[in-house]
Structure 1
């Protein structure tokens, strides 16, 4: 299904104002081991709070989603794919965190972003973060660039590619001492899995609801 960002944005804002797909969507892309499947909610958590931005931008007039690639030399999570975002600062709103971090990481002006709404928060056990995703769109085609020491590359992934069922697959990985089936999105040769894939799954469910796109 072809759609422009200008027509998609108001539909997404309306859909985000209603009940969200929530953890049911997260579970589609969660690693298949019981502890992770039962441990998604941020409710009653004594956790660190973070905000991330699920950013839509035009690419050749079609919507694309912006992701970042961590540098390969980092001691933690080297090469992994994520949304722009990070830890909340004192007296800062979570949406403000997402916008500030996006500016720091990919040189995105907060004033250029229209925040359409929030997705369901997700608990990340290894880091003890409660992550709050926000969906935004930036109509400008101004270039983005890595402006943080941890960001190696910026990916602009066509939304149509992410909505294609063939993009989603599964592999077996060793996790917590066991071989676990791990769903992931194959994005330009990059493996998008874990919390990023789980949040992306809910976002794509919202897009499908808003547009009638088939799954």
Structure 2
């Protein structure tokens, strides 16, 4: 059985600050993991903890979700039902965005798209990165070594993998889809026909991570 030990968000923040201190430019951290693992929750908590430990706003979020292809584009491709699968993202745009964060001098603005769950659409320039030297990006496929996705991992200084028990992930995803306007039948179909299939693919990439975390009841464990 794999050994584990509990950690805290504050301890993870210290790890980030320690590693970021060795970077001449921006430090880019990725958090990969299956749908419903709690990636965005960890990323937001980590940013807050990093800023608190640093005593100023040194960290910013740059989530992969902003690079969802627009629904009209997916509809034209016949891929709207598969939204969330690897080919439904603008991965080239995502890679270009990471490159801009990597190479743009700190202090110069870098726009980053966000994803509006109320409209189920990306919002161009929803975030403007300026003086922050630590960037946290999170998404399912950061460790995927297939086609254009293989260009993502080399742009990250570190990439962690976060997961949670399958039952927990299913419950979270059901709530997410219900809040998004699906009825219960459609929400369950989305989870079991799409999200869990995506999860199987994402789980196959965990061995490429620098750190593997498991979330249980808002506690984090390192494997």
Which band: TM-score by shorter chain?
A: 0.3 to 0.5
Question: Which structure's residues are more often helix, by fraction?
Answer: 2
Between Structure 1 and Structure 2, whose CA radius of gyration is higher?
A: 2
Q: TM-score, normalised by structure 2?
A: 0.34
Question: Which structure's residues are more often strand, by fraction?
Answer: 1
Q: TM-score, normalised by structure 1?
A: 0.35
